Structure 1
Amino acid sequence: MSATAPFVVLEGPDGSGKTPLAARAAADLAHLGVQHINRRQVSTHSGYAATLMEPLARMLWHSGDAPDLSDNFWAHLQASWFTAHGEQVIAPALSAGPVLVDGWYLKLASRLSGQGWSATEIDHLFSRVRRPDHTILLDVEPAVLWERKAGQLRPAELGMHGDYAALGRASFVDYQQRGLDRLREMAAAGNWHVLDVPAGEDLNTTSRRVTTLIRDLTTTSGERL
């Protein structure tokens, strides 16, 4: 059994709506104590931790995209970030109630498996990162995501580390599909909750479905997934 309130993660391909859906669900479930915490948030619990996490966040999300550094570098940087985030942001927040995060290290793990990393290497890299109690996979086809997000996608999301001759629709769909296939495998192995999001579904409908699932997960005790 989990000793604290449940830690719930929304996971899915780039552009699947994790952040807006997490924010809406937390707002709708605020009366139950559900908190949305952005995966990029630095510590508010420790000034020392925040001082060290801030440059990590800048490197990861505010330094632009370039192929100069390998996925090996970025993977280790991400592992450091999620270790600190789990210890300094998630853990303190769980003492106040359920926590909902818009993405965790799991998507990165799915990508690395398609870039030549073995399961043993990936498990070792993230072995000390806090595990979610519940993971919800937003299963959205990459071709649908391209129609939604084309023009707003970063080179890294288009497959910069995937060794494609050119970055665009073809690289995005292939890169995201490979990651999604691995996430589906991880979901089956880890007993995640999979939410299929069909092509024509609007954000409000998806939001209601996500909120209902999170309400059920955060108000029903159960074994740690």
Structure 2
Amino acid sequence: MTSVGAPFFVLEGPDGAGKTTLARAVAADLAASGLVHLDRRQVSTDSAYAALLMEPLARMLWHSGDARDLSDNFWAHLQASWFTAHGEQVVAPALKRGPVVVDGWFYKLASKLTGQGWGAEELAALFNRVRTPDHVVLLDVAPELLWERKATKLRPAELGMHGQYDELGRASFLAYQQAGLDQLRARARTEGWHVLAVDADETVQETGGRLTRLITDLLDRSAAPNANSRKETPL
């Protein structure tokens, strides 16, 4: 399901790529255009009933700690439920007011599940009814840089808890994140995402500036009478 009207943007990338920081920055830069940032963990503010059901989902997904007691199958279906509700109850109402950027969608999870043995058909069926963004921007950041940024703040799940590693640490993190990034790159090529490569010597402000220019261009295109179809844009 794609959005109708204002464009729906998603920033995607591996753990620690800066999705939330950059989504907030670009929304602030383009506030005059009506662009707003929606946190991917936000519950509905339009429906008290939807919020009541989404709040325990959010707690289970992001505030219950990391353990292997429940299978990937359980967590994957929980995520599919979450992004279905988020697309319907958070993104859709906001798009009636103007363009939206969300800091991550289900694609990162799907990239990790692929590495854990899930097939393309299984993943397509699982996320088939989740709202599809109009534009996805892949933040392409090398795992080595991610390690430097987040080494002291990493959770077991980010270190590769659900992968086949003898112990969790730098080696497991690099292997796990690289495998996920390779899957995201492949999806970017197949689905025509925009790719923003982030170098080690680039500041957050510089990356944010490039992202702002890209989204400004896409907003201009969407406003044109004959807007171009989306295509991969390496920057």
TM-score norm. by structure 1 comes to: 0.98
- 1:166 alignment partner AA: E
What is residue 75 of structure 1 aligned with on the other side? Answer: 76
Q: CA deviation at 1:223?
A: 5.7
> Contact 1:26–1:36 at 8 Å: present in 2 too?
yes
Q: Separation in 2 of the partners of 1:182 and 1:28?
A: 30
Q: Report the counterpart of residue 145 of structure 1 in structure 2.
A: 146
1:146-201 C-alpha deviation (Å, 9 max, x unpaired) = 01110111111110101211111000000000000000000000000001101111
SS of equivalent residue, structure 1 residue 63: coil
After superposition, the C-alpha distances for 1:114-163 in whole angstroms (9 at most, x for unaligned) are 11001000000000000000000000000110011101111111101012
Determine if contact 1:43/1:50 at 8 Å carries over to the other structure. yes
Structure with the greater relative contact order (CA < 8 A, sep ≥ 6): 1 or 2?
1
Q: In the TM superposition, what is the alpha-carbon distance from 1:219 to its structure 2 partner?
A: 2.4
Preserved contact between residue 3 and residue 92 of structure 2 (Cα < 8 Å): no
| Alignment check: 8 A CA contact 1:134 1:224 kept | no
**Which 5+ residue runs of structure 2 have no aligned equivalent?**
231-235
Q: 2:13·2:108 contact (CA, 8 Å) conserved in 1?
A: yes
TM-score, scaled relative to structure 2 = 0.93
The farther-off stretch of 6-15 and 194-203 is 194-203
Query: In structure 1, the residue corresponding to 2:153 is in which secondary structure?
Result: coil
**Pairwise CA RMSD:** 1.2
2:134 equivalent in structure 1: 133
The corresponding residue for 2:48 is 47
Unaligned ranges ≥5, structure 1: none
State the one-letter code of the partner of 1:117. W
Q: Which amino acid aligns with 1:220?
A: R
Structure 1 residues 224 and 54: alpha-carbon distance in aligned structure 2, compared to 1, 3 A threshold: farther
